[in-house]
Each structure stands twice: as C-alpha cells, then as structure tokens.
A and B are shown apart, each in its own frame.
Chain A
C-alpha cells in the first residue's frame, strides 16, 4: 500500500471532518471494547496468562536463532520448503518466482498483515497474478480499492450501507437488502467457486511451532482452510517473531489472542498446517512453501524496542486508543495503525519518515493496560519522541515550546504560579459552564471537540487544601 505517515496531521484533519467515518468507528470500537471487557472479566486467570505469555515471548526472542533453526528443520521434515527473506523485496520475489514457476494465474489469499507489510498485493499485480482476497473485510477493501484501516478488521472504516452499495456495484449476484447477514451471504456466493479454482493459496501465520514445524493460522470465517486446501500450492509469508517453542506454549496465546482481539474465548478455526499433502491424503496442496521474513525485526532485538516483537497483532491497543478511535486507521498512512503502528512504522521506514506518529498519543496508558503481552507502548513512544527531539526532527515551534516548558518545570514556584493563573483564566472564560467551545489560539484543540473547564484550583493547590484539612 502507499505509505504516507509524514502526512498524519493533514490525514487526521480530513478524517475528523468525515461524519460517515465517525459513525463507522463509533459502531465498531465501542462494541469491541465492551466484548473484550466482558470476556476478560469471565477469565480470572487472565493476569497469570498474560504474565506467562510475556515470559514465553521473551524466552523465545532471547533464543530466537535456536528456535528458528529448530522450526526450519522440523518444517523441512514435514515436507515443506523453507525460504528466508531479509527484505520485503526478497520476500515478494520468492513468492512471485513460485507463482511464475507454476504458471499460476490466480491466487486466493487469507488476510495477513505481513503480506501488506511486504507489499505482496502490489507484487502479485505486477507479476500478472490475479489476487482474490477471501477474508470478508479484505474482500470489501479489495473491491473498494482501499488500504486496510485496522489490523484485525481492515474494513472498519466502512458502514454497512457503504458495503451494500459496493456489493451491488461489484457482485455478480448481489443481495436484495442491506442487512449485514445478506451482505455476508452475497460474499459467500461470490467467492465460493473462486476458492476451488485458484492455482495458489497464500496465507500468513499467527504462530510457528518450533518443535513440530507447524504453521498455525486462526480465522473465524474458515477461509484459511478453503484458501489453502484446493490449490496445488500453499505459500506462507510470516515474520520471524511469530515463533513459539511448542503447541503447549502456543495455547497460552490462543486463549489471549481471541479474547483481546474480538472478545471471544477462542476463534472458530485454529488450524495447524504440517507440510504438503501426504500419500493417500484425500485433499491438500502438493507443495507448501514457508517464507520467513525479517524486514527490520532483527534490528529491534536487544534494544529498547525488543518488547514490540512480543506483539501478537490483536489490535486491542487501537480499539482502546482515543486517537485511533477519533481518526481511524487511514490517517496513520502506514500498514500498522494505532499505538503498535506508531512504534513499528519508525522502525520499518525511518524516524524522519514516521513524522508525527510517535506524537499521535495522549500517553493515557490504556494501550499497555489492554495489551495481552504487556508491551510498554507509551514508554516506547516517549523514547521515540526523545530521539526525534535529539535528532532535531521535532518542528521548530514545538522545540521552543518544549524547551520553554522544560525551563518552567525546573522552577516549581514559577510553574505553580503560571499553572494557577492558567486555571483561573480558563474558569473565567468558561463562565460557569462545564465545557469550553472556543479558546483563542487553541483552535487545534477545540475545532473538533470541547475543552472541559478545569476544576477549581490546580492539582498542587487542591493537594495543599486537602492536607490542611
């Protein structure tokens, strides 16, 4: 997809004045947050599971070379072919070469963010391979020619009314009504035969199991099995951080992933793929290729960003982020949006290219709180800001403001005086109302929302009052 993270401010401005997007985001993020809260409340062992998950990922990352070699040996033993790619171009070249060698004309594909990351859709188009997205959301955005806006629900930015209009224009036999169930049925009709006729099936992987060489893919729709079973060849593209030691270790993540992502105890389909079709097997692909992709992951090892490699791509951080919930995924202009994306994009492009992304965060800490593997996202974003400041990438006015604030913050008496005066001024401006609609020179804040009027007195003033009592 076309990347434009440096345009975050312009993109966000546009997103904030789009009422349809606002409706779509409100309908989805709210529902996802409520479902997750319920299913976590029903799982008293959640805290222990989260701790175990964090430790398993850390252990695996600390011994990553050992586990990658173990996985490779076992996958080869199952009859799969294993490829390694340091860069996105190497990865897509491997996939395209396989397609060409097979004379493939069509490829069905299961949603995989790694595929988006390495530019697989574009590479297939250049090679003349017709790509058929099978995940419902990916099918929608393929028809609309949109990039994904969420890592679990890539069509989150679309309302059902928009999807209905799209399907009426593009489906051979569209639904008669706009009901969501009818739209799902329409996509089922549209894709059924295409599954069976494809030359290649391409998937990602949620986990790689080192001691069995298994590739694990989870879906709710069942499109992973329908994509990878009928074609002659199954290609997997996967990041090297997806590895876990064994099936019993993977289980810890299976419980967390569905809960965090969609508020379910487990996804409908969890499939372990072990190599190509065996002698006598009733069905399955004759060839299985696994492409292990680095793309800057090794650079994150051993540094302050290493915990980011624990990420299992559940999307909970974005569902709970006030910035994401207001602007949606497209504003980030990158494959990975939201808090986890604001950490990954600077690594996968550059700190300069990522522009304002590390600043698109209120540091409220909810992303880390809901993260099933406890990634310190706010700390990482803060560290990235410091690096931007040190490398003079922060814009001039912001640098002056930060310096001024720093000077003031080092002088507590003056700081308190200034803060007290500010609170007083805002309270006078609010004239007894709870919310402030407009503040001179602060349109950037008040254009799309009200500023709450401050409480009586600054924190320090209230603290002093309470202490006297």
Chain B
C-alpha cells in the first residue's frame, strides 16, 4: 500500500526537524555509541572463560558446563552427560562436518529432529562472556529447530570463540545485510517462563536443560 507509505513518511517529515545530510546522521549515530565502556557491565577481575562459566551456570541462566581438551573428546563427554541424565544413548546431530566426522561409536546419532527429541548437539558460532550466552546462526548445516525442539540442548563451544561483550560479537558479524545469516539467535541458557505468578520455571517451549561442552584453546 504505497499511499499509506507516502502518508506516513510525509507525516513524519512534517513533524521532525529538517533532516540532516545522510553522512551527518550517520556520524551523530556513531557518536552516541562511541564509548561503550561507559554503559557496558565491567568485569575487570574476570577473564572471558571465567565470566562465561560463572554467568552460564548462574541461577538465572541454569546451564551446566563440561570441559574437554580437544574436539575428539566431545563424544565421550556427550555420552557421559546422557548417561548421567538417564537418557538413551541417542542424539540428534547438527549436520556439520566437524561433528559428523567425530567417532560416535556407542551412540546412535541422526541428522533429523523429532518434535519430542530428548537431546540434540549443535556447535556455537560465538559466545558472550558478559551474559553467558551462545550465538547460533542458521544455515544449510544449521537447522533453527535443532536449538528449540530438544529437551536437552548440548552445545560445543571452542574457548577462543568467547568474546567479552555483546558489541564485540555484533562487530564480528558485520553491519551489512548481506553478511547476516537468516536467523541469528543469542541463547542464554534454557527456555523459561515467569508467566504464572512471576515464578521462574524452566522448559517452557524450548529446551529445559542446556549443557555447554567447552573445548580448550589449542
């Protein structure tokens, strides 16, 4: 409806001060966020890994952490986790070569995801120390539903991908539309709700449990 478009934009122009030159608007916008350290939560005493673990395992975020020295050790850690949770040795596996190429002997793995999938394993593209969040991008080898349908979401995270603040992650993702994945999701722990009497409960629609397997820096 182009007439609505024109009427809205004309009404906006009539009521806002004379617009600046585009470049000036951009400069003014950049100046507003020129010193993010003023409003970013500071945690000088903690390194990125330490902060990430502290936040991810906090009462509010409720993830658990596993540590492995190399990516080859991931299947054993996943098997241990499933056993500790009394789950069957079966796993939906994100179709990425880094995961499918590992030795999964003893565990049944499958590429699809069922509506009531007990557990799925995916790779984190980035992570944020500030909040204990992992960043997951969609793509041919990264179905979005794999992060939301399972009851247990297990995530492999390479330690060197943990960045300090939210802004650092966005900086890496670029600011042009072409560089964005279709779906970019910052996941901070498990699905929760406080919709009944403001009481926090886990496992609303998405995963009730999150286990982050951190692979040490090479």
Q: Is A262 an interface residue (CB 8 A)?
A: yes
Is A146 located at the chain interface by the 8 A CB criterion?
Answer: no
Complex interface residues of chain B between 183 and 218 (CB less than 8 A to chain A): 183-199, 201, 203-207
Q: How far is the CA of A248 from the CA of B39 in the complex (A)?
A: 12
B1 touches A84 (CB 8 A): yes
Residues of B14-39 contacting chain A, CB below 8 A: 15-17, 19-20, 22, 25, 28-29, 32-33, 36, 38-39
Q: A212-B175, A222-B148 are in contact. Are A188 and B204 (CB under 8 A)?
A: yes
- A180, A229, A271: the one contacting B197 at CB < 8 Å is A180
Min Cβ gap A227→B in Å is 9
Q: Are B189 and A281 in contact (CB under 8 A)?
A: no
Whether A248 pairs with B170 at a CB distance below 8 angstroms is yes
With a CB–CB cut-off of 8 A, which chain A residues contact B131? Answer: 265-266
Contacts of B7 in A (CB 8 A): 86
CB distance from B206 to the nearest CB of A (A): 3
> Which of the segments B75-83, B85-93, B101-109, B139-147 contacts the partner chain?
B139-147
Question: Contacting A52 at CB < 8 Å: which of B9, B38, B95, B181?
Answer: B38
For the complex, is A345 an interface residue (Cβ under 8 Å from B)? no
Given A74-B177, A281-B138, answer yes or no on A221-B15 (Cβ-Cβ < 8 Å).
no
Given known A140-B195, A220-B193, A225-B183, contact A62–B205 (CB-CB < 8 A): no
CA distance A264 to B186 in the complex (A): 15
- A365 CB, min distance to chain B CBs, angstroms: 24
Find residues 168-195 in chain A having any chain B CB closer than 8 Å to their own CB. 180-181, 183-185, 187-188, 191-193, 195
Q: Which of chain A's residues has its CB closest to B179's CB?
A: A212
A137 near B: Cβ within 8 Å? yes
Q: Does any Cβ of B come within 8 Å of A153's Cβ? A: yes
B17 CB to closest chain A CB, in angstroms?
6
The one of A62, A90, A221 in contact with B204, judged by C-beta atoms closer than 8 angstroms, is: A221
Asked if B13 CB lies within 8 Å of chain A CBs, one says yes
A226 touches B171 (CB 8 A): no
Instruction: Return the chain B residue nearest A55 by Cβ.
Output: B32
The interface residues of chain B lying within 8 Å CB-to-CB of A249 are: 29, 32-33
B129 to chain A, nearest CB (A): 12
Whether B189 pairs with A254 at a CB distance below 8 angstroms is no
A269-282 CB mask vs B (1 if < 8 Å, else 0) is 11111111110111
The answer, yes or no, to whether A61 is at the interface (CB within 8 Å) is yes
Give the total number of A-B pairs whose CB atoms are below 8 A apart. Answer: 277
Please tell me which stretch of A65-73, A348-356, A443-451, A455-463 contacts chain B, meaning at least 4 of its Cβ atoms lie within 8 angstroms of it.
Answer: A65-73
Known: A56-B32, A63-B25. A155 touches B196 (CB 8 A): yes
CB distance from B137 to the nearest CB of A (A): 10
Known contacts A153-B198, A251-B170, A266-B131; decide if A134 and B205 are in contact (CB<8 Å).
yes
User: In the assembled complex, how far is the CB of residue B202 from the closest CB belonging to chain A, in whole angstroms?
Assistant: 8
Please encode chain B, from 89 to 132, with 1 for each CB lying within 8 Å of some chain A CB and 0 for all others: 00000010000000000000000000110000000000000110
Chain A residue nearest in CB terms to B33: A248
How far, in whole Å, are A82 and B148 apart by their CA atoms in the complex? 28
Distance A56 CA – B33 CA, assembled complex (angstroms): 9
Docked pose: A196 CA to B140 CA in angstroms: 19
Question: Contact between A45 and B38 (Cβ–Cβ < 8 Å)?
Answer: yes
B53 within 8 A of A: no
Name the contact of B205 in the complex, choosing from A191, A278, A303 (C-beta under 8 A): A191
Q: Are B12 and A301 in contact (CB under 8 A)?
A: yes
Interface size on A, residues (CB 8 A): 105
In the complex the two chains form, what is the Cα distance from A136 to B198 in whole Å?
A: 12
Chain A residues, Cβ within 8 Å of B36? 248, 251
CB <8 Å contact, A284 and B138: yes
Are B182 and A85 in touch, CB under 8 angstroms?
no
Chain B residue at smallest Cβ distance from A284? B182
Alpha-carbon gap, A64 to B12, bound state (A): 7
A385 at the interface (CB under 8 A from B): no
CA distance A140 to B194 in the complex (A): 13
| Bound-state Cα–Cα, A267 to B191, Å | 10
Check B197–A160 contact: CB distance below 8 A. Answer: yes
Question: Of A140, A274, A278, A284, which is within 8 A of B184 by CB?
Answer: A274
B50 adjacent to chain A (CB < 8 Å): no
B201 contact set on A, CB distance < 8 A: 180-181, 184
Q: A184-B203, A248-B33, A265-B131 are in contact. Are A196 and B16 (CB under 8 A)?
A: no
B180 at the interface (CB under 8 A from A): yes
Contact with B along A201-239 (1 / 0, CB 8 A): 000000000011110000011110110011000000000
Task: Chain A residues near B142: list those with CB within 8 A.
Answer: 282
Residues of the A chain whose Cβ atoms lie less than 8 Å from the Cβ of B19: 63, 65-66
Whether a CB of chain B sits under 8 angstroms from the CB of A163 is: yes
Provide the residues of chain A in CB contact with B176, threshold 8 Å.
211-212
Q: Which of A14-22, A24-32, A373-381, A422-430 contacts B (4 or more CB under 8 A)?
A: A24-32
Query: Which of A24, A187, A271 contacts B183, CB < 8 Å?
Result: A271
The minimal Cβ–Cβ distance linking B107 to chain A, given in whole angstroms, is 22
CB nearest neighbor in A for B136 = A271
CB contacts (< 8 Å) of A211 on chain B: these are 175-177
Residue with the highest number of chain A CB atoms closer than 10 Å, among B143, B182, B186: B182
List the B side residues contacting A158 at CB < 8 Å.
Answer: 196
Residue of B nearest to A193 (CB): B115
Least CB distance from A170 to B in Å reads 15
Q: List 23 A-B contacts (CB under 8 A).
A: A27-B197, A43-B41, A45-B38, A59-B28, A64-B16, A78-B177, A84-B8, A94-B1, A135-B195, A136-B204, A160-B199, A188-B205, A193-B115, A211-B177, A212-B180, A221-B192, A240-B8, A247-B175, A248-B36, A251-B167, A269-B187, A274-B182, A283-B144
Q: With A251-B166, A252-B33 given, name 15 new contacts (CB 8 A).
A: A45-B38, A78-B182, A135-B195, A214-B180, A221-B204, A221-B206, A223-B206, A226-B149, A248-B36, A251-B167, A268-B192, A272-B180, A272-B184, A273-B183, A298-B11
What is the interface of chain B, defined by CB distance below 8 A to chain A? 1-2, 4-5, 7-9, 11-13, 15-17, 19-20, 22, 25, 28-29, 32-33, 36, 38-42, 55, 60, 95, 115-116, 130-131, 133, 138-145, 147-149, 166-167, 170-171, 173, 175-178, 180-199, 201, 203-207
